Chain A
């Protein structure tokens, strides 16, 4: 990860709240249920219909999987998501959900077993409905404070605190900035090699099992298409002239063209590919951002008059941003042309 949005103590807090606390809650439920095993009917009621009548029966072990496996699984996924979240209150939401879910499921399972202690026949189990309501209550009572205790994420787009870079251009000065950008070679070889190997195995499988030739043709065609799409996603060119900015894949498409007059301002930002854009390639990002995200690190961010923002991870972004701002300033209409009220 390039930039983590949390300090070490905030990270610990997320792990304790979203990861450990739910497991502790579930463990209490598991311990209670296990201690009651000798007093339980066999089979056990494990499902109730809407009217509160038991309508599903099974063994205790399936029931124990809920607090024993489902809750810890969710705790791992949700706390990991909270750690990588980069969007304001999202880590708090994820923490609250993790704790609340654990409380709901632990109360639900524990209560459903508690109701059947000492029963000869699970058919006689009373309704679970009041306890499910209690579970929801427990989820709120534990989940909300946990969410409030969790830290908020700070945006990792550490915007340049200084004024955006700019360069002064003569009235008739002509300019060209070009730079290619792409995913890191190791990532490219890894992804490309992986696909080639996968398809080689599939094709070998089709051939050795005497598969149809049309199936083979399909495989080869989809492999070629896949490599084409990956090429277009992972290798791009940035080109900046007096007319404006053009960001296009090495295949020519997809392509973004932003005329100078549509640009408010260009900036250099630091991008965290996974945390902010969820991966690499052509990506949507926070705040109406369109990202050509090929690696974590420096990126050119162009704010458009439409309110949209284009972000492209490219080297020498400071030069590109300065040039764009220089062009925007040079093209700006004289102040007098600005005050035409409708």
Chain B
């Protein structure tokens, strides 16, 4: 599992973190039943606030992608399998956006519009 966060990016850190986890699920690098690093460990490693990590984990829990249990940490749920459906659609979408020279923000806006 690879997590990257960039404090220099305009995207809030908790969103970057959640996006990184989603990305690893899509890539198949995180599978159901796998445990994410503890919030304390991840915060220390990435030198960010532990509340930022918890915020991201709560976001993922609300999405149904992880289970948060006291003492067990954050565990990837079976929904990870369903995320595989994105694996084909997303790269295609990104490819079109790149061909049209659309920024990620513009593509995101299009998706939001269509939702």
A binds B: yes
Q: Contact: A178 with B1, CB < 8 Å?
A: yes
| Interface residues of B, dominant DSSP | loop
Q: Contact: A176 with B45, CB < 8 Å?
A: yes
Q: Contact: A170 with B2, CB < 8 Å?
A: no
Q: Contact: B45 with A319, CB < 8 Å?
A: no
Across-interface contacts of B71 in A (CB, < 8 A): none
Does B5 belong to the interface (CB within 8 Å)?
yes
Across-interface contacts of A177 in B (CB, < 8 A): 1-3
Q: Contact: A176 with B42, CB < 8 Å?
A: yes
Q: How far is the CA of A308 from the CA of B2 in the complex (A)?
A: 26
Q: Contact: A174 with B48, CB < 8 Å?
A: yes
Residues of chain B from 16 to 45 with CB closer than 8 A to chain A in the complex: 29, 37, 42, 45
Which of A170, A178, A316 sits near B37, CB closer than 8 Å? A178
Q: How far is the CA of A178 from the CA of B3 in the complex (A)?
A: 9
- Given A241-B45, A316-B29, does the pair A176, B2 have CB atoms closer than 8 Å? yes
Q: How far is the CA of A173 from the CA of B7 in the complex (A)?
A: 7
Q: Contact: B1 with A174, CB < 8 Å?
A: no
Does B46 belong to the interface (CB within 8 Å)?
yes
Q: How far is the CA of A177 from the CA of B3 in the complex (A)?
A: 6
Q: How far is the CA of A174 from the CA of B42 in the complex (A)?
A: 11
Across-interface contacts of A172 in B (CB, < 8 A): 6-8
Across-interface contacts of A319 in B (CB, < 8 A): 2, 29
Q: Contact: B1 with A179, CB < 8 Å?
A: yes
Does A337 belong to the interface (CB within 8 Å)?
no
* Contact-residue size bin, chain B (C-beta under 8 Å from the other chain): 10 to 19
Does B63 belong to the interface (CB within 8 Å)?
no
Does A323 belong to the interface (CB within 8 Å)?
yes
Closest Cβ–Cβ distance, residue A250 to chain B (whole Å): 13
Does A196 belong to the interface (CB within 8 Å)?
no
Q: Contact: A176 with B29, CB < 8 Å?
A: no
Q: How far is the CA of A51 from the CA of B7 in the complex (A)?
A: 86
Q: How far is the CA of A174 from the CA of B37 in the complex (A)?
A: 15
Across-interface contacts of A169 in B (CB, < 8 A): 4
Residues of chain A from 322 to 339 with CB closer than 8 A to chain B in the complex: 323
Closest Cβ–Cβ distance, residue B11 to chain A (whole Å): 12
Q: Contact: A175 with B29, CB < 8 Å?
A: no
Across-interface contacts of A170 in B (CB, < 8 A): 6, 8-9
Q: Which residue of A lies closest to B46 (CB)?
A: A174
Q: Contact: B4 with A173, CB < 8 Å?
A: yes
Across-interface contacts of A179 in B (CB, < 8 A): 1, 29
- Given A316-B29, A319-B29, does the pair A174, B45 have CB atoms closer than 8 Å? yes
Q: Contact: A174 with B29, CB < 8 Å?
A: no
Closest Cβ–Cβ distance, residue A243 to chain B (whole Å): 9
Q: Which residue of B lies closest to A320 (CB)?
A: B2
- The contact sample of 27 A-B pairs, CB cut-off 8 A, is A169-B4, A170-B6, A170-B8, A170-B9, A171-B8, A172-B6, A172-B8, A173-B5, A173-B8, A174-B5, A174-B6, A174-B7, A174-B45, A174-B46, A174-B47, A175-B3, A175-B4, A175-B46, A176-B1, A176-B2, A176-B45, A176-B46, A178-B37, A179-B1, A241-B45, A316-B2, A319-B2
Nearest first, the 9 A-B pairs at minimum CB distance are A174-B46, A173-B6, A176-B3, A170-B6, A177-B2, A176-B45, A175-B4, A241-B45, A172-B8
Residues of chain A touching chain B, judged by Cβ–Cβ distance below 8 Å, are 169-179, 241, 316, 319, 323
